């Protein structure tokens, strides 16, 4: 094992075509490349126009995120170049000149773009397949391409209880699925989707499995497929605790800390497959280096380290103390979140703690002349939690020999600059950093607001237990009334 920085040397003078750079992982990938591998030649980023913003405006806004603070002094326009396109449209919606430019100059492709929503229709999720096919077709014509990296998910083959670092037979070939979706109308497709999915829990993992087979059968260059587990906030770089969305586990923990989410269907003793986004980015960049070095195609199940695993129950234990120590001013109720393994009991708790509360809040809003929002938002939240329960209730074992081998083959300097081993992760510190990060980057709250938030938390404590006492007292009085009425009848 060499002590030299071989990975950084590999990226020197490379021209990278990156998709998905406006996403959570994409932002960290591009930040790390610009901060640690400034000697690279160019990064071409595929950005689509959105709503009332052009692709150029969206790229400019990208660098306003706090994760880019450490490199804002650099002239980023020297390295980052816009390619206007759209992964949701045929052939990436590329212009002829841009396509020719990419074919001529690209030496490394990192395909990280994907629609990660669990509730999307099969037609919407099909963009994951079509975009991967189109990126691969484009890559076939890249004259100087050295390596291709595809970002998948470790749950792409979740119908298996033990998942190896190998290709699996897809539920359907990509060309057949594309033809089927193109031929059927929306209603018919929606009707047959459950049968097509079979044991797959949602269209996201279904299409990600199919895209892996596409990568396997296309393109004769060194390739790597990185399968991250549940991606969470940063652990080290560029700053601990950075996050830009409420969609993941950190976001759910935040919603629970605000007193909004009160029940989740999960097995406490099951392993929670959490991996920090900056470690995921480092693993991807290291995998590209290894693929070029070995000249082969390798799959990496990036799920953390078996010697330092964390369960859902332990996760809750770790996340609770920081929410007492660093509460938010935006709390709406006292923290009373629990994991519940029994599905019936979970649904009962959701009814009383979510649905009933939501309609009561909406009733109050109607009385004061405001629009109702609580019931609608809770329906959306509960639907999301139902979709997540497959992963919080399920249990898998993952082979990770390729990940461990990749780490072992890295030199000392590379292990410092592109760290992804989770063997020594301090989960308690990570929980605290994630809490503070969610508070700062999602809620936009500064540390000086903590004292005021603690006072509000104390008030919520009193109100919460007053309501609990009133509920049980009312229930007691009701039961006594029923009992006396029955006694009187006899």
Spell out where 277-424 has E strands.
297-302, 338-340, 397-398
DSSP class of 440: I
* β-pair partners for 311: 271
Instruction: Give the C-alpha separation, 361 to 373, whole Å.
Output: 9
Kind of pairing between the strands at 397-398 and 162-163: parallel
End-to-end CA distance of the chain: 87
The residue count for the chain:
490
> What is the structure's pLDDT at 220?
87
CB–CB of 216/40 below 8 Å?
A: no
Instruction: Give the C-alpha separation, 388 to 81, whole Å.
Output: 37
Q: Which tokens is 380 given?
A: 């959306």
**pLDDT tens, 48-62?**
998 888 999 999 999
Helix 312-325 × helix 249-257 angle, to 10°: 50
Reported pTM = 0.92
Instruction: Give the C-alpha separation, 78 to 14, whole Å.
Output: 14
DSSP class of 84: E
**Residue whose tokens read 């938002």:** 377
376-382 own/partner pairs: CB under 8 Å, 24+ apart:
378/354, 381/255, 381/260, 381/261, 381/354, 382/350, 382/354, 382/355
Q: Which tokens is 193 given?
A: 């989707």
Structural domains of the chain sorted by starting position, each given as residue range(s) with its CATH number in brackets? 6-242+272-309+396-425 (3.40.50.720)
> What is the structure's pLDDT at 217?
86
Peptide bond into 294 cis (omega under 30): no
Spell out where 66-173 has E strands.
80-84, 108-111, 147-151, 162-163
Q: Going residue by residue through the chain, which has 490 residues, state the pLDDT in tens, using 9 for 90 and above.
A: 455 789 999 999 999 999 998 899 999 999 999 999 999 999 999 999 988 889 999 999 999 999 999 998 899 989 999 999 999 899 999 999 999 999 999 999 999 999 888 888 999 999 999 999 999 999 999 999 999 999 999 999 999 999 999 999 999 999 999 999 988 988 999 999 999 999 999 999 999 999 999 999 888 899 999 999 999 999 999 999 999 988 778 888 889 989 999 999 999 999 999 999 999 999 999 999 999 999 999 999 999 998 999 999 999 999 888 888 999 999 988 888 999 999 999 999 999 899 998 998 899 889 988 888 999 999 998 998 998 999 999 999 999 999 999 999 999 999 999 999 999 999 999 999 999 999 999 999 999 999 999 999 888 888 888 888 887 888 888 888 777 776 665 5
Q: Which tokens is 77 given?
A: 């326009």
Q: Classify residue 20 as left (phi > 0), alpha (psi -120 to 50) or beta.
A: left
CB–CB of 446/440 below 8 Å?
A: yes
CB–CB of 70/32 below 8 Å?
A: no
Instruction: Give the C-alpha separation, 228 to 226, whole Å.
Output: 6
> What is the structure's pLDDT at 489?
57
CB–CB of 93/133 below 8 Å?
A: no
**pLDDT tens, 33-89?**
999 999 999 999 999 998 888 999 999 999 999 999 999 889 998 999 999 999 989
320: enclosing H helix or E strand: helix 312-325
CB–CB of 189/120 below 8 Å?
A: no
φ, ψ of residue 438 in degrees (nearest 5)? -60, -40
> What is the structure's pLDDT at 1?
46
């Amino acid at each position: 094992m060499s002590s030299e920085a071989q990975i950084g040397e590999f990226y020197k003078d490379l021209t990278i075509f990156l998709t998905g750079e406006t996403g959570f992982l994409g932002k960290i990938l591009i930040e790390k490349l610009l901060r640690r591998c400034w000697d690279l030649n160019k990064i071409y980023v595929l950005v689509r126009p959105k709503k009332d913003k052009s692709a150029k405006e969206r790229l400019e806004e990208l660098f306003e995120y706090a994760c880019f603070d450490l490199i804002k002094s650099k002239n980023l326009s020297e390295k980052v170049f816009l390619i206007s396109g759209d992964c949701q449209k045929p052939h990436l919606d590329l212009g002829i000149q841009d396509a020719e430019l990419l074919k001529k100059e690209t030496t490394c492709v990192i395909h990280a773009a994907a629609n990660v929503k669990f509730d999307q229709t099969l037609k919407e999720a099909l963009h994951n397949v079509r975009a991967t096919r189109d990126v691969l077709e484009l890559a076939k014509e890249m004259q100087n391409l050295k390596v291709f990296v595809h970002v998948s998910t470790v749950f792409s083959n979740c119908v298996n209880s033990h998942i190896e670092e190998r290709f699996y037979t897809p539920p359907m070939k990509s060309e057949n699925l594309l033809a089927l979706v193109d031929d059927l109308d929306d209603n018919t497709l929606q009707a047959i989707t459950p049968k097509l999915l079979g044991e797959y829990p949602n269209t996201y993992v279904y299409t990600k499995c199919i895209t892996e087979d596409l990568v396997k059968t296309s393109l004769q260059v060194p390739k790597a497929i990185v399968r991250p587990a549940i991606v969470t906030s940063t652990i080290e770089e560029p700053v601990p605790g950075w996050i830009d969305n409420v969609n993941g586990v950190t976001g759910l923990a935040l919603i629970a800390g605000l007193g909004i989410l009160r029940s989740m269907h999960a097995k406490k003793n099951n392993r929670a497959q959490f991996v920090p986004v900056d470690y995921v980015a480092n693993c991807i960049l290291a995998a590209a280096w290894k693929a070029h070095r070995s000249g082969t195609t390798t799959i990496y199940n990036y799920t953390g380290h078996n010697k330092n695993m964390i369960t859902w129950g332990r996760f809750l234990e770790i996340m609770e103390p920081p929410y007492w120590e660093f509460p938010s001013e935006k709390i709406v109720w006292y923290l009373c979140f629990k994991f519940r393994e029994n599905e019936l009991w979970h649904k009962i708790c959701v009814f009383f703690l979510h649905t009933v509360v939501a309609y009561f809040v909406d009733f109050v809003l109607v009385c004061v002349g405001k629009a109702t929002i609580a019931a609608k938002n809770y329906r959306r939240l509960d639907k999301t939690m139902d979709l997540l329960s497959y992963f919080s209730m399920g249990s898998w074992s993952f082979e990770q020999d390729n990940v461990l081998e990749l780490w072992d083959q890295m030199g000392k300097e590379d292990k410092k600059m592109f760290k992804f081993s989770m063997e020594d992760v301090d989960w308690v510190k990570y929980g605290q950093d994630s809490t503070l990060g969610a508070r700062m980057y999602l809620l936009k709250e500064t540390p000086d607001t903590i004292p005021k938030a603690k006072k509000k938390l104390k008030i919520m404590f009193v109100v919460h237990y007053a309501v609990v006492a009133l509920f049980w007292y009312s229930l007691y009085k009701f039961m006594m009334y029923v009992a006396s009425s029955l006694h009187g009848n006899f």
